[in-house]
Amino acid sequence: MFLFIASGKHIIYKTVLGDMYVTDMNRTKGHKSLLNYGCWNPSSNSEEFMTCADDCTLRIWSLNKRDQQLHVIRTKGESGHDVRTTTCTYNQSLYHNENSNLIAAGCDNGSILVWDRRRSFVHVTFKCLNAHLQDESITSLKWSYDNQILASRSTDHTLKLWDIRKFNQCLSSCENIYNHFSMTNISFSPNDKFLITGVSKFISSTNTDNDTNGKLLIFNRNDLSKISNEISFNDSVIRTIWHPKLNQIFTTTNNGLIRVFYDEQRSPMAGIRLCLNRKEKKAKDTNDFITNIDPIIASSSTSDSKIEPKKQIFPEKRKEEHKSSSLHQHLIQTIVKPNFIEKEDSRVELLKYAKEAESNPKWITPAYVHTQPKPIFQQQIEEENDDDDLLPVLKKTKK
């Protein structure tokens, strides 16, 4: 996991990767599997953050300690086996009370586990093993600002509210709000009276009348009743945040768009409202500039005169001389005349010495003066059969 500065240009922290060959999760210095979620400690001037991963652990980190995590928390199911952790959260209250030290985690088996930081992380302080359906993962957990209510969102298409003092049964539930993404979350309003969540787009394979678009829903915190008309989107709504200071709602969709909602009377002149007064930059249009490429003709010249193009004079290219790569080639090039084969006929050059060879023989004729003074030539020339070359030597007929 990487931590960047506010501008996003530089990395200030990088978590350590755990040893892949160590089976005990408590002895590894970092996560060994895919990270699912991470969040900051909301307390003021905190340098602590928490992450959860598919290695069935939660890990608490500090910016002052870079070699390994501070604490390791293992998540286990009802049978004692490890379960994957899909989301985690701190208690977001800035005021100290009995619940300000609680941290919660949601698992892929539908269970919610809560620990108290003042105690050991070996044993769970609060747990609800059947918070959501068994085969559905919890995508988001969020504490209210008064530290009394915990909201949960799951891929079983439900939203539930829990009281930590009565954790066996949910306070209220809202069903049939589609959730097909693992990052769909919940957010409370700054006054702690409402909460919002996104709804995924649903396309029915049998009946097109049941198709629904993505939505942004606003609920009453007490009973999860809808307090206003739903805001419809063309795509699925995934992430939502109701900013506590700006009082503006930010939403993201699966097509990469961000939509922001605000009230002109209740929202301060900050955030997205600072961008509204800026003028849009006008793109440069190439049609605004028309160039005249017609030739300029002086008044003294006639219209029939033609402008001759200037001739470009290039230096003559020298032919590259063939360089010898060995001593033998160098000696041949110095002895033999250059371009001898191209300019002179070899047959004509040989016939120049025919008469001299007959009148003054040196080599072949003196050797046969006594043994064969009269030359004997072949009477008949046998034509070679080309097919004989294709046959093996043993199969050729003897002549």
User: What pLDDT digit, counting tens, does each position of 45-85 carry?
Assistant: 778 999 999 999 999 999 888 888 999 999 998 888 889 99
The pLDDT of 112-139, averaged and rounded, is 90
Tens digit of each residue's pLDDT (9 = 90 or more) over 310-332: 666 666 666 555 666 788 787 77
How far does the chain reach from its first CA to its final CA, in angstroms? 91
Query: 């939505």: which residue's tokens?
Result: 215
Tens digit of each residue's pLDDT (9 = 90 or more) over 197-216: 999 988 776 766 677 889 99
* pLDDT attached to residue 42: 84
Tell me the CATH class for 1-174.
mainly beta
**Of 143, 61, 53, 44, nearest in space to 95 by CA:** 44
The encoded tokens of residue 189 equal 């309003």
The pLDDT of 255-268, averaged and rounded, is 88
* Burial class (CB within 10 angstroms; exposed 0-12, middle 13-18, buried 19+) of 118: exposed
Tally Cβ neighbours within 10 Å of residue 45: 5
Tens digit of each residue's pLDDT (9 = 90 or more) over 26-43: 889 999 999 999 998 888
Query: 């002052």: which residue's tokens?
Result: 64
Residue 92 has pLDDT above 80, yes or no: no
Contact 158, 129 (CB under 8 A): no
Q: How confident is the model at residue 103 (pLDDT cuts 50, 70, 90)?
A: very high
Within a 13 Å sphere around the CA of 180, how many CA atoms are in the beta-carbon half?
12
Residue 243 has pLDDT above 70, yes or no: yes
Classified as helix, coil or strand, 25 is helix
Tens digit of each residue's pLDDT (9 = 90 or more) over 132-191: 998 899 999 999 988 889 999 999 999 999 998 888 889 999 999 999 999 999 999 998
* pLDDT attached to residue 106: 94
C-alpha–C-alpha distance, residues 147 and 152, integer Å: 14
* pLDDT attached to residue 289: 52
C-alpha–C-alpha distance, residues 200 and 357, integer Å: 107
Contact 271, 248 (CB under 8 A): yes
* pLDDT attached to residue 23: 87
Domain ranges in the chain are 1-174, 176-273
